Structure formats: structure tokens, C-alpha cells
Structure 1
């Protein structure tokens, strides 16, 4: 039986891997024979697509949905694994579980898909400036075809062919744009209609304001890379359902204060915003916020007050310690957060040794990397009270 199945794979390692991932879940000879006897497994005419579809059809319904969503990315695109899981969560694809976080379940889903060869080239690397470590992956072109066949009406990927938006005007739910003058294309598109867009990823610079923002009320995930401060016209009052907001690498000096009304926002990525000076003062009211990326914001001089008391933050990539005052967050508030991943603590010269001891950074078991930065020479006794855990 195994010999028959190997022959049916037509010499393709991807076909063998995909079919093997299906067979490993089958525990009886009858089930193996049923798969081996299929006429459409793999032939010289159909090649390996039937096997890939068989592997896809063998998935649970919610895992199918998670993978099909990957059609939003162009072929050969390097996907940030953590961001992908956050996008799944933002769109409500991951079922809740009493004992595990949505992020943990999302990681299990990703691992399952990777074990079935849906994802490949999984590697760890630093971001473009070397501040932050991340895992990336790609999708095999044929696997991408499977995802697109499922999501053809809902996903639009426009790199050099913006006309694709028009032809799927009424069914488009998830848009990925990376083409010249993408904001002009979007403005024209939204002026004529009001589709229920849930994901909007603009992967090139946006240099002009996005008009018709009142029509974006159904957005769950938004990525904008803003060039020039005049192009920034984010209006939170129209984005009440937003759960994922990525403004990384943008030319912004600050965020609007009314961003605090985004009570459903779970992810806020401001990484590598060179001109960002401050965060909104009322961020303590963003009670759903779980991941805040601030690494690479070189001009950021403080954190908003009570940030650590009123949120469920799991990720905070950079905390800027300011001189204690009513308009900034004290390092001591970090003790209230169950942080994981990576943390950079800047302006350590403003931290008193007692504060660092109370913050208890060393005992945060989820932290894997911790960077301490001083802007000036100072008393280094703060390190005497610092006892890192074994996994740091």
C-alpha cells in the first residue's frame, strides 16, 4: 500500500509531505485504502494539486479558515508569524478556550499547518534595524493557489494590477495593496461603494489622506505606512471595531488623543516610527490592548500614565523610563504586567534602584530578551538588585 501511494506522488516531495500529513491522522487500514484508491490523488495530467486539496480538506473548519486567509498575501511574501496569528485573532477565526490564550491556540494552529507543509522557510531573524527578533515564513506557490481558490471572491491582492479591486467590488473583504498611488485607488474605490472590508493592508507608503473614512466601519485590521504628516488623518470614531492597527515605519509625531476610544483594539504597532515623540495620555482606557510595539521609536521620551495598571499587555517591546511625574508611567508599574517576548528598557539613568527591584523584571518568566540602555553614565547599582530568571 505504501509503495502504491509513493508512486501516486509522481516524485514530488511536497506531494509526499502533504499526503503523509493526511495519512498520519488515519489509524485504520480501511482509511489508508480509501485514500490510496482515489483516482484524483496525483496523475501526470493533474500533477499534485489534488493531493494538496486533499490535505486542505482534511483540516478542521477553523484551521481551514485560518489558512485560506493567507491568500491576502502575495506569492513569495515573507509573513511575520506573530502578526499572522494576531490577524487571525482580529478577524475572529480562532475559537476561544478556557485554559489557553488565543495567541497560544493560534500558535498551535500555525504549528499544525507547518507540520503539513502549508508553510515553509520558517526562520528567525532581526527586523530591518536589528531591534526586534521575529519568526517569518512563506507559502509554497501551489499552496497559495489552494488558498486563493477558496478566498477568490473575498481576498484582493493588488501589486501591479489595481483593476482587481474593481472586478471584486461587492465581495471584497480583505485587501492587500502594494502599488503606486494606492491611496488614490482606494479613495476612488470607496467613493463609489461601501463594501464591508475587514482587513486593509497598505504595504507601500501612503502619501495622501484616505478619504471616505466613515465607510471603514467594519474594519477589524488596518496597516498603513504613512509618509508625511499631512497624510495622516486617522479618525477613531469610525473605527470602533478595529482590533489590529499597524502604523510601523510611519512619519508620525503623535497619535490622536481620541484613539483611546478604540476599546476593542488588541494590537498597536508603532515600531520604527522615528518622529514619534509621545503616546496618547489616555491609553489606560484601552483595556483590550494586548500587544504594543514601540521599539525603534528613537524620539519617544516617556510612557503614558497608568499604562501598566489598566491593560492586559502581553507584549511591550520598549519602555522609556522618564523622570517621575504625573504625565508619565513609572517603571514600577511594570510589575502589574505579565510581559513576554522582548523588552527594551530605555533611559535607565532615570530609574532608581528601588524601583527596578519592585518592578521585578527578572522574574517575568515569559520574557526571553531584555535590553537595558543608558543615555548617560550613572550609578550602576540598579543591576545589583536585578536577578534574571533562567530562561532569559
Structure 2
């Protein structure tokens, strides 16, 4: 049963990677300059991987050891590749923030979770990582043929869509042990961002404070700490927590914001 749960998580993980690799931001801000060929090859390879996951899962459930090992390696590579493309996405957002003046206006330097940027070093480091990921993907595709994994087609495949669970990486504002988390790491970051939000609260323009960094650095936890900060709760009349996640859809997001509004709930209890 545990093996089944593990394999079920692989498809959304690879689908997420495919979405990240296809993000328009990467091209808009030229963050993959010098790595365009590897980028194109990777984008062609990922749909091939997605097409055989169902067959690999079925073989793994039938105790085919080769399929089990292949899925385990795919999961490892997908996690690593997602982290690599998180760095590319961060670089794109860094360019956007700098272009729009957010570094200066919002004190972006106090919440930046990466060291000072050097374009040449970034290109060399990320180029090396991308090549390693592509090598691993090519090995997986070669083994895919060796193990006889077959492509499976569904209606969503034919439409060029990848089915991704809407529950994937959903978050809320609840923290299991806020005292323990706050005391060990995020107190200074929480205070800095809270000060920015409170200082900009009277600004008529919409203010967005980005918290950026690689996966696993605690961005969501930090946002939860800020959301639950007593000064923030006291100062703002309306606080909503809506999870955007990687499966971004404007209509769904707008609907989630409306549904999260307490005004909607209050209206339903008013007498007709």
C-alpha cells in the first residue's frame, strides 16, 4: 500500500515540472540564456515520460521490480529538476522585481532568500545542473524502452492536457507548532515583512510582497507566521488565505477568493 501511495504522487510531480519548464517567464526574462537547446529538449522529453507513467504504475503494482526501480528514480530526478526550475523561476521573478522597482520600494533585499546575484556564475551553475537533469531524463527514457513501458492515452492526453490533482500542494494558514518554528528560524524575517506590510497599509496602490526561494526553505511557513501575527490580525480588517499553487488558473483563483470572503457567508444569513 505504501508503494502505491508513493507512485500516485509521481504524476503530479512530473506534471508540475512540465508546467515550470514551459513557463513564459523563463523566456520573457531570458533566464535560460545559453541553455536554450537543453531547455527545448527537456520540454520534448517530459511529455514522453508522462505518457508511460500509468503503465509503469500498473507494472509496479504487479510487483515488476524494474518498473518499481524506474518510478523511484523518476521521483528522485523529478524532485531535483523541480528545485532547479524553482531557481530559474526565482531568477525570472528577481528580474521582474528589479524592473518594477520593488527592490527599492518594498525593501526587497531584506526578504531575499538567495545571495547576491552574479549572472556569469548563475549561468555556469545552472547550465551544469540542467545538463545533469537532462542526462538523467535521457537515461530514464532509454530504460523505459528496456522495461517495455507503453504509452497510455486518455481524453486529457489527446487534448494536450495533463491531469493534475487540484489538491496537490494545497496549504492553509494553520501552523501545527508556531512557537517551535518561530523560535528556531523565522523571527527576524517575520518582523521585517510584517513591518513592510504595516508600513504600506495606507498606500492606495496594491502592494505585493514576494517571498522567493528554492523549495523547502520554508516560504509557506513564513507566510503562515506573518498571517497569524497578532499585529497583522489586529491591523487589517479583512484577511484571506488562498492557495495559488503551481496549477495556476485565474478563474479558479478568483472563485476561491470570493468563496473565502466572510462577507459572502454573512450575506447568506441575512433575512430576505
Question: TM-score scaled to structure 1, two decimals?
Answer: 0.21
Q: Greater strand share, 1 or 2?
A: 1
| Larger RCO (CA under 8 A, 6+ residues apart) | 2
Bigger Rg, structure 1 or 2: 1
Q: Greater helix share, 1 or 2?
A: 2
